[in-house]
Amino acid sequence: MARPDKAATVAELTDAFSNSAAAVLTEYRGLTVKDLKTLRRSLGEDATYAVAKNTLTAIAAKEAGIEGIEDSLTGPTAIAFVTGDIAAATKGLRDFAKANPSLAIKGGVLEGKFLDANAVLKLADLESREVLLAKMAGALQANLAKAAYLLAAPLSQGARALGALQTAAQADPSLIGGAGSAPAAEASDETPAADAATEEAAPAAE
């Protein structure tokens, strides 16, 4: 391969490492062309699977700021670059490897950090993006329903209170402020002192 071609390949791998949600390194020794086609289909539409030279992969990983990947670059290497649902892609790899022992998962990269094979397999146990979105939507819908109930409850309670007050007022108008006439005033301790003195002086005048 001419040097310009190698440079182009390194640039493509660097871009793939930088822009993928995850990358899984595998050894495909013993797989047929037919097997590789089946594997690519099992990864889904959000992942690509391609053979890569170890030396060029190491250079590309370094340029992408990924460390610790060199020890996994032994034997024939093919990389699955995942651009969508990580759980779905890693499940596809795991299930294919179970049915085809010739495929070995050597490690992976997630958010620029190298993962060993065990960590990659744990990604396959995560819930898929669709399941997470469904759970999120369900939780959001439940919270919205709860919020709507809390907002409506005081209003409905207030409406019931006003209705009860209106019914009571129709039965007894005096319950409404200003209705009816006030009782006649009677002399009491609150009668003005000047009026009280006039009442006491009246008999003397006779």
What does the block give as tokens for 47? 């992942």
Q: What is the pLDDT of residue 202?
A: 43
Q: What is the pLDDT of residue 111?
A: 87
Q: In the chain, which stretches have pLDDT less than 70?
A: 1-2, 127-166, 168-206
Q: For tokens 């590789």, what's the residue?
A: 36
Q: What is the pLDDT of residue 4?
A: 80
At 50 the three-state DSSP class reads strand
Q: Are 57 and 26 in contact (CB under 8 A)?
A: no
What does the block give as tokens for 43? 């990864």
Q: What is the pLDDT of residue 159?
A: 57
Residue 104's beta-bridge partner residues? 27
DSSP 121: H
The rounded distance, in Å, linking the Cα atoms of 66 and 81 is: 14
Nearest to 77 by CA among 109, 108, 51: 51
Domain ranges in the chain?
Answer: 3-126, 128-165
Q: What is the pLDDT of residue 203?
A: 44
Read off the amino acid at residue 92: G
Which residues in the chain belong to E strands, given as ranges? 22-27, 47-52, 77-82, 104-110, 113-115
Q: Regarding the domain with residue range 3-126, which homologous superfamily does it belong to in the CATH classification?
A: Ribosomal protein L10, N-terminal RNA-binding domain (3.30.70.1730)
Q: What is the pLDDT of residue 172?
A: 64
Helical pair 33-43 and 86-99, crossing angle rounded to 10 deg: 150
Q: What is the pLDDT of residue 9?
A: 94
Q: What is the pLDDT of residues 183-198, one digit of tens each?
A: 444 444 444 444 444 4
CA atoms within 13 A of residue 154's CA, in its CB half-sphere: 3
The rounded distance, in Å, linking the Cα atoms of 13 and 78 is: 12
Dihedral-angle region of residue 178 (phi above 0 means left; psi in -120 to 50 means alpha; beta otherwise): left
Give burial (CB, 10 Å; 0-12/13-18/19+) of 120: buried
